[in-house]
């Protein structure tokens, strides 16, 4: 049986949880900052990041790291179609905004305040702004009209931004409408971190 390790609040974990909604699997909710769960991560995953997927293949345990690699593994396992290059680029945009926001969120939780004049924060905010504007335009042009993996990832990002109050979404009306339109899907409500 597939085992997905993660936390209920991670946007990277949530995208895989949503994607696996109709697939039998076990979700192991980790408290990633607790000593016991950090030890488990250290044993199973040297990156010490979530999500991580465990699968028994022909009697051997296969562990897959990183949401993007997990998705690729699942598409091969279940013979799903591969992503197009356009979809790969969409994921790169989504992941870059996610990565920047995760870094700033961790720094904030470490009592390091975002200083607009510091290069690190300036670059992260610049990236997030540029990516969200591009994603807003993509939504307006219909690029996220099908409920597929990139769409799931975009939803997980926008919902996490709203949940954690990480970015002012004012003016990004297409992204906000996209969020509202998909917020009542059963797999979305079942994985809501709130």
Region 176-190: mean pLDDT is: 98
Which pLDDT score is estimated for 116? 75
Which pLDDT score is estimated for 114? 79
pTM of the model: 0.94
Asked whether the predicted pLDDT for residue 191 surpasses 90, the reply is: yes
Which pLDDT score is estimated for 32? 83
Is 2-77 CATH 1.10.357.10?
no
Which pLDDT score is estimated for 22? 94
SS in 3 state form for the chain? CEEEEECCCCHHHHHHHHHCCCCCEEEEECCCCCHHHHHHHHHHCCCCCCCEEEEEECCEEEEEECHHHHHHHHHHHCCCCCCCHHHHHHHHHHHHHHHHHHHHHHHHHCCCCCCCCCHHHHHHHHHHHHHHHHHHHHHHCCCCCCCCHHHHHHHHHHHHHHHHCCCCCCCCHHHHHHHHHHCCCHHHHHCCCC
Asked whether the predicted pLDDT for residue 153 surpasses 80, the reply is: yes
CATH topology of domain 85-190: Glutathione S-transferase Yfyf (Class Pi); Chain A, domain 2 (1.20.1050)
Asked whether the predicted pLDDT for residue 15 surpasses 90, the reply is: yes
pLDDT, the chain, mean: 95
Spans of all domains in the chain: 2-77, 85-190
Give per-residue pLDDT as tens, 92-147.
999 999 999 999 999 988 898 878 789 999 999 999 999 999 999 999 999 999 99
């Amino acid at each position: 049986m597939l085992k997905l390790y993660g936390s209920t609040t991670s946007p990277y974990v949530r995208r895989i949880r949503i994607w696996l909604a109709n697939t039998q699997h076990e979700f192991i909710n980790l408290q990633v900052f607790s000593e016991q769960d950090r030890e488990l991560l250290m044993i199973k995953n040297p990156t010490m990041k979530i999500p991580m997927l465990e699968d028994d293949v022909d009697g051997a345990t296969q562990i897959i790291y990183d949401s993007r690699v997990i998705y690729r593994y699942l598409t091969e396992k279940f013979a799903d179609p591969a992503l197009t290059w356009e979809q790969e680029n969409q994921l790169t945009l989504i992941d870059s905004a996610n990565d920047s926001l995760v870094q700033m969120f961790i720094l904030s939780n470490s009592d390091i305040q975002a200083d607009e004049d510091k290069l690190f924060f300036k670059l992260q905010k610049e990236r997030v702004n540029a990516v969200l504007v591009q994603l807003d335009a993509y939504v307006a042009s219909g690029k996220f009209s099908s409920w597929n993996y990139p769409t799931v990832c975009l939803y997980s990002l926008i919902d996490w931004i709203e949940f954690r109050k990480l970015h002012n979404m004012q003016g990004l009306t297409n992204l906000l409408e996209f969020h509202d339109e998909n917020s009542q899907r059963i797999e979305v409500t079942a994985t809501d971190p709130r």
